[in-house]
């Protein structure tokens, strides 16, 4: 199948990452190897000070740690300004940027650090709290003496820039929760990502023992998730109860932020909490009226955009016409919503229960996840596809002579063709929706994939692929 051949070769190249992070014994947090580090290296080499790097992402996803680690490894010196707790003296420096010599002199005196021309970087951490610093990027980049890295939450950034000039001299990147490769690196299994790519390129069954081990690793990744603090807790304590506590703390933080979007109706917070229930209902779209009845359409669209900007959720848009250039054919009012991290999703699904009552933990650990909990795998696939830069789309169409619908869970655009994907939490190879869809749109199909929990197989034209290969599609 062509899609596998091309992407298998491509994915073998991403293992060229040069950075290996080690335990930071001075604190309680590990510093993990992240793929975005390699993109940051490219930015540093290619931009040569002509643009700032803006790292966007959800809170607690590791933006500040990554920026600081990059500065320590790749520059002779750096200054990190955390605008969530900075002093008035520092904030006042950004009120007048006419004399940059005076600005840099004060900055170096305040932090006691000497900046070196073209070999130092200044980090604006949590830049959303100081819009004037973001506006200053234009002048600082033009000056050219140093490099600049900004970190922040996109939703907060957009809400705090109404009266400033947005700099065009920014290279924007997104830091997602740790993906399956990064989870392997964090847990000391450094060879597994390369072995997975070699196996994916071979397009043959893994064998019972290897497949069983990979599925066990994937289930562990689903339980822990990719938030660095949760991964740190797992490695440090080897206690899922403690991991669950960390995830609950992160979810509480997210909900506190989301309540600020609509302090009266708490619509964003209620939509966020409803995600597991909505997916479990098997509805063909997120049913807003069941969560926030009588809300104006314009307000709901604004809140959905804010949720997406927060990077705490991932949206899959429903297509009106499944074709390449999917962004032109989706319905703005029809979408599904997933959590950006499946570990958080599992905790949110049973948030009102204690850890010991969370049946998903028990069933996943024992590999006894029942069919009615298959929405966990759907969220996992959404997260894994999104982490590799894919925009998510799906498609529904009616079953002939019935009031039921067929549904294609995800659609990928590859070259001038589309690749439909069906997700199953079991080992069954039934794929009626795929069959009917591919017959209906045969001229557009560039491959057809069933993601499931069994070993690699072919069923006619359908590739049945173990779900742990999702990130390589």
pLDDT surpasses 60 at 102: yes
- pLDDT grade for 13, boundaries at 50, 70 and 90: very low
pLDDT for res 119: 97
Q: 276-293 burial string, b = 16+ CB within 10 Å, else e?
A: bebbeeeeebbebeebbe
* Domain locations in the chain as residue ranges: 35-174, 180-472
* Residue 252 CB neighbour total at 10 angstroms: 11
pLDDT for res 19: 39
- pLDDT grade for 371, boundaries at 50, 70 and 90: low
CA dihedral 447, 339, 241, 64 (to 10 degrees): 100
d(CA 360, CA 112): 51
Question: What are the φ and ψ backbone dihedral angles of 406, each rounded to 5 degrees?
Answer: -80, 155
pTM, two decimals, is 0.90
Condensed to tens digits (0 to 9), the pLDDT of residues 161-177 reads 556 666 788 999 999 99
d(CA 355, CA 152): 31
Question: What are the φ and ψ backbone dihedral angles of 412, each rounded to 5 degrees?
Answer: -110, 145
Helix axes 342-349, 240-259, angle to 10 degrees: 90
Class of domain 35-174: alpha beta
pLDDT for res 264: 79
Bridge partners of 78, per DSSP, are: 121
pLDDT surpasses 50 at 427: yes
Q: Judge contact between 66 and 33, C-beta under 8 A.
A: no
* Residue 258 CB neighbour total at 10 angstroms: 24
pLDDT, average across residues 319-336:
89
Which residue did the predictor score with more confidence, 332 or 250?
A: 250
Closest CA to 376 of 340, 352, 345, 348: 345
């Amino acid at each position: 199948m062509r899609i596998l051949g091309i992407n298998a070769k491509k994915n073998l190249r991403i293992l060229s990452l040069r950075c290996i992070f080690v335990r930071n014994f001075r604190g309680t947090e590990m510093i993990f190897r992240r793929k975005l580090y390699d993109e940051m290296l490219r930015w540093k080499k290619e931009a040569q000070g002509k643009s700032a790097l803006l790292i966007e992402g959800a809170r607690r996803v590791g933006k500040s740690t990554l920026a600081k680690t990059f500065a320590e490894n790749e520059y002779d010196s750096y200054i990190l300004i955390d605008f969530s707790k900075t002093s008035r003296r520092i904030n006042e420096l950004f009120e007048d940027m006419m004399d940059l010599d005076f600005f840099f002199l004060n900055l170096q005196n305040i932090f006691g650090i000497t900046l070196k021309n073209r070999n130092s970087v200044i980090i604006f951490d949590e830049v959303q709290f100081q819009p004037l610093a973001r506006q200053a990027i234009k002048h600082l980049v033009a000056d050219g003496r140093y490099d600049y890295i900004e970190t922040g939450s996109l939703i907060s950034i957009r809400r705090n820039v109404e009266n400033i000039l947005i700099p065009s001299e920014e290279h924007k990147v997104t830091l997602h929760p740790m993906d399956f490769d990064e989870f392997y690196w964090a847990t000391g299994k450094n060879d597994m990502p390369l072995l997975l790519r070699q196996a994916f390129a071979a397009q043959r069954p893994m064998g019972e023992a290897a497949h069983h081990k990979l599925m066990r690793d994937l289930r562990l990744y689903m339980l822990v998730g990719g938030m660095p603090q949760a991964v740190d807790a797992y490695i440090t304590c080897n206690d899922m109860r403690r991991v669950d506590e960390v995830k609950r703390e992160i979810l509480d933080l997210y909900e506190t932020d989301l309540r600020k979007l609509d302090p009266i109706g708490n619509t964003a917070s209620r939509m966020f909490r409803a995600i597991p229930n909505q997916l479990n209902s098997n509805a063909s779209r997120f049913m807003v009226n069941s969560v926030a009845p009588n809300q104006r359409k314009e307000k709901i669209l604004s809140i959905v955009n804010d949720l997406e900007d927060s990077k705490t959720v991932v949206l899959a848009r429903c297509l009106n016409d499944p074709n390449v250039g999917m962004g032109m054919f989706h319905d703005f009012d029809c979408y599904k919503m997933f959590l950006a991290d499946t570990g958080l999703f599992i905790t949110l699904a049973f948030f009102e229960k204690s850890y010991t009552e969370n049946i998903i933990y028990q069933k996943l650990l024992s590999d006894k996840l029942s069919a009615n909990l298959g929405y966990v795998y759907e969220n996992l696939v959404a997260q894994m596809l999104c982490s590799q830069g894919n925009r998510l789309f799906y498609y529904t169409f009616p079953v002939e002579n019935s009031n039921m619908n067929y549904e294609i869970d995800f659609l990928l655009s590859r070259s001038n063709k589309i690749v439909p994907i069906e997700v199953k939490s079991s080992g069954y190879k039934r794929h009626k929706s795929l069959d009917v869809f591919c017959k209906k749109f045969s001229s557009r199909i560039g491959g057809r994939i069933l993601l499931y929990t069994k070993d690699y197989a072919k069923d006619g034209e359908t590739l049945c692929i173990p779900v742990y290969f999702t990130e390589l599609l």
